Copies of this chain bind each other. A is one copy, B any other.
Amino acid sequence: MSAYDELMAFQRQTEALAQVAGRLGWDQETMMPAGAAEQRGEELGAMEEVLHSRRTAPEVGQWLAAIDDASLDAVGQAQMRHIRRNYARAVRVPAQLAARIARTTSVAYGTWARARADEDFAAFAPVLSEIVALRREEAGHIAEGGDAYDALLQGYEPGATGEELAALFDDLRPGLVALRAAVLEQPAPQPVSGSYDLALQLALSRKLAETFGYDFTRGRIDTAVHPFSSGSGSDVRITTRTAEADPFNCLYSTIHEVGHACYEQGIDPAYALSPLGQGVSLGVHESQSRIYENQLGRSRAFCHWLYGQMTDSFGDMGVADEEAFYKAVNRVQRGFIRTEADEVQYNLHIMLRFDLERDMARGTLEVEDLEEAWNARFAEDFGYAVDKPSNGVLQDVHWAAGLLGYFPTYALGNVYAGCLYLALQDDVPGLDDQLSRGDLSAATGWLHKYVQRHGGLHEPRAVIEQACGFTPSEAPLLAYLEQKFADLYDL
């Protein structure tokens, strides 16, 4: 066997083990009995140690030294790009530091949950300071003199820089702030009302998943407190959740997670259990979940079909007609919480977090000043004050989990979804006609062809650029939102 073949065989086992570890996480959220939590922590820790030792194994370094990338084909070169990058990141971080980060974030979850329940940011600040310090130290090892925030960001979005995202968001933010203000001056549309049978919600969820192309022979849907998609290759599972008064929570969570899952299920099977066999970045991943959920799933055309489906399932929903239903689906209202935000406001929540975490990572914002900075920025963009920490700086678990550099990928995904939707509309004639019949095949087929099947073959930004045929920017998303909400709110 050549060094490349040996490396890929080793890598294949590592990827298989990573799938096992990921499925433990799925099990924990869906199936695990409550009393097993402590043992599960040890199981996950043991799997992490196995994976870490494989990711930093000296023989990988030896294979890397022996392989001449230029002698490989394009797929081989792309594999090597991922393996070299991941190995370099992994070996630069001292094992003791990695272990300290794991221990600290594992304790921090409980501290954060209690602080949130007690509305007490000061109780969370010390451990958050420690996390920021540890991840800055980690970033210092990875960056080797480069920007600390970029080093963290690139763990989720290879190739991206904070500077580039800051410029992108600077172009996006004023338009969103203005659109949001204009929309909220108008009378709010009626939401749906009544009670929605949970079993019927889940049945319709399954139908929606199939409609959007989810393959149940290689996946399954369960319920969990927080919806997620999990796994790659031929075992990609999603979860959704149900609330009796709000059927859209269940249905659009499902469509969102189906977007993630179809990306994973759609990757060329030749890449299975290799570095190319999974979504290339969080931003590109989010572009798929968002375009499924929003540009397609919340479109006027698709809402026509969905209105019929939901009327069949649930009868009267307390909305006058199809137009009122479409408005209810796309209702914009004041709020504090990112995960409950609509298309207009969502990215404002993200940009706030991006600016704050970037400042923390670069040492220009202290954790002790974080709550004040959060509240000031929120007031600036949203026009009213945060009423309590659980509606502000304590609302998300990400920082407690050590995820610094993760938030902006959500907004980047929305920007990418805007670009893809523009190109998709150009390329697929009669799209609205199809959506209004509940036929997603051409739209999802286009996304499969230009994005999903490539897995990790191209760099994140490149895969979007090649799919669209133009340089990604915030402009398509902004134009789409302005047009959609001007129409919805008679602006």
Contacts and interface: CB of A to CB of B under 8 A. Distances in A.
Interface of A: 12-13, 16-17, 19-20, 23-24, 27, 31-36, 38-40, 42-43, 45-47, 49-50, 215-220, 233-235, 237, 272-273
A47 B13 CA distance: 9
Nearest to A23: B27
Given A16-B46, A20-B47, A42-B16, A33 B216 contact: yes
Given A17-B50, A20-B20, A47-B17, A42 B273 contact: yes
A216 B31 CA distance: 12
A220 B16 contact: no
Contact of A35 (B20, B234, B237): B234
Contacts of A36: 218, 233-235
A31 to B, nearest CB: 7
A215 B219 CA distance: 30
A39 B233 contact: yes
A237 to B, nearest CB: 8
A46 B20 contact: yes
A234 B36 CA distance: 5
Interface centre among A12, A36, A38, A215 (most CB of B within 10 A): A36
A374 to B, nearest CB: 38
Contact of A33 (B32, B47, B50, B220): B220
Given A35-B218, A50-B50, A217-B35, A42 B12 contact: yes
Nearest to A19: B43
Question: What 10 pairs between A and B have smallest CB-CB spacing?
Answer: A36-B235, A35-B217, A35-B218, A16-B46, A13-B46, A16-B43, A39-B234, A36-B234, A16-B42, A39-B233
A217 B34 contact: yes
A244 B36 CA distance: 33
A390 to B, nearest CB: 29
B33 A31 contact: no
A24 B36 CA distance: 16
Contact of A43 (B20, B32, B42): B20
Contacts of A24: 20, 23
A234 B32 CA distance: 10
A19 B217 CA distance: 26
Given A16-B39, A33-B218, A35-B234, 17 more contacts: A13-B46, A17-B47, A20-B20, A23-B24, A27-B27, A31-B31, A31-B220, A32-B235, A33-B219, A33-B220, A33-B234, A33-B237, A35-B217, A36-B234, A39-B234, A39-B235, A50-B50
A233 B233 CA distance: 31
Contacts of A235: 32-33, 35-36, 39-40
